[in-house]
Amino acid sequence: MSLTPDQIDRHKRHILLKEIGGPGVSRLRGAKVSIIGAGALGGPCALYLAAAGVGEIEIWDDDTVDRSNLQRQIQFRDADLGRSKAELLSERLVALNPDVRTIVRQARFSEAETAHGDVLIDATDNFETRFLLNRVAHESGRYLVSGAASRWSGQVAVYASGKSQDAPCYQCFVPEMPPEAEACDDVGVVGALTGMVGAAMALEAVKLIVDTGNALIGRLLIIDGLTGENRVLKLRPNPDCSVCGR
């Protein structure tokens, strides 16, 4: 896919990187990404992917903007209250980069309408959707980039169980819904931390699409916002996993 002079100008800082370059920008232009959740994690993730020139971005979210979202969902404005998150995020992405095609799904992610992306981004806030997405990613052999943030702690990992026998899936790591599962509605979350997790998910997606560096496959990045210390845990496939066990 050749680039116009305007596109070369727009993507100059990526073209300068030897790990991305012109061919990497072309791969990004040819890529399709599905982002499930247009909130605190999905917003920054989608903005960075649109800025990077990802060709098609599908956005799933059935929610509307509430005033309490604005502390962290910086893709929205005060004037957006009550409007559809998926629709607004789509508008913001196209305003940032008119080359991006968006698909708006004003709905909760469901299997009935298959996600289009080559890479699936889990930016949801509930375990039911996470488990469903994980199964869809595994069965269709697609990458799942997963992020979460609660209180002062953030997590990012890439699951690739449908591509490699050595790679765990999300349910190898979280076999069932934790009894103490807490939603950020109940416990709070630091706004800037959700931006870090969203940006980290975009970074993983870019590496997967361009095929460079080491994605967080089988590794969980844990960001401790309070101490400023990050850790990486190794995740292993579980032979008894209900999704990918073999």
**Phi then psi dihedrals of residue 6, to 5 deg:** -65, -40
241 binds Zn ion (CB under 5 A): yes
Which CB atom, from 176 or from 186, has the smaller least distance to Zn ion? 176
In whole angstroms, the minimum distance from the beta carbon of 242 to Zn ion comes to 8
184 is catalytic: yes
3-state secondary structure 41-98: CHHHHHHHHHHCCCCEEEEECCCECCHHHCCCCCCCCHHHCCCEHHHHHHHHHHHHCC
Chain residue at closest Cβ approach to Zn ion? 241
Which CB atom, from 93 or from 243, has the smaller least distance to Zn ion? 243
Q: Enumerate residues 6+ apart whose C-beta is below 8 A from 98.
A: none
Which CB atom, from 105 or from 135, has the smaller least distance to Zn ion? 135
243 binds Zn ion (CB under 5 A): yes
Among candidate residues 169, 184, 241, 244, the one labeled active-site is 184
Instruction: Name the one range near Zn ion by CB under 5 A: 3-11, 148-156, 165-173, 227-235.
Output: 165-173
Count of chain residues binding Zn ion (CB under 5 A): 6
169 binds Zn ion (CB under 5 A): yes
Q: What share of the chain is helix, strand, coil (3-state, %, to 5)?
A: 35, 20, 45
What whole-number distance in Å separates Cα of residue 183 and Cα of residue 130?
Answer: 13
132 binds Zn ion (CB under 5 A): no
In whole angstroms, the minimum distance from the beta carbon of 139 to Zn ion comes to 12
Q: And the tokens for 140?
A: 């269709």
Contact at 8 Å (CB) between 151 and 223?
Answer: no
167 binds Zn ion (CB under 5 A): no
In whole angstroms, the minimum distance from the beta carbon of 168 to Zn ion comes to 6
What whole-number distance in Å separates Cα of residue 78 and Cα of residue 167?
Answer: 42
**Phi then psi dihedrals of residue 121, to 5 deg:** -115, 120
172 binds Zn ion (CB under 5 A): yes
In whole angstroms, the minimum distance from the beta carbon of 19 to Zn ion comes to 30
Active site residues: 184
Residues that bind Zn ion (CB under 5 A): 169, 171-172, 241, 243-244
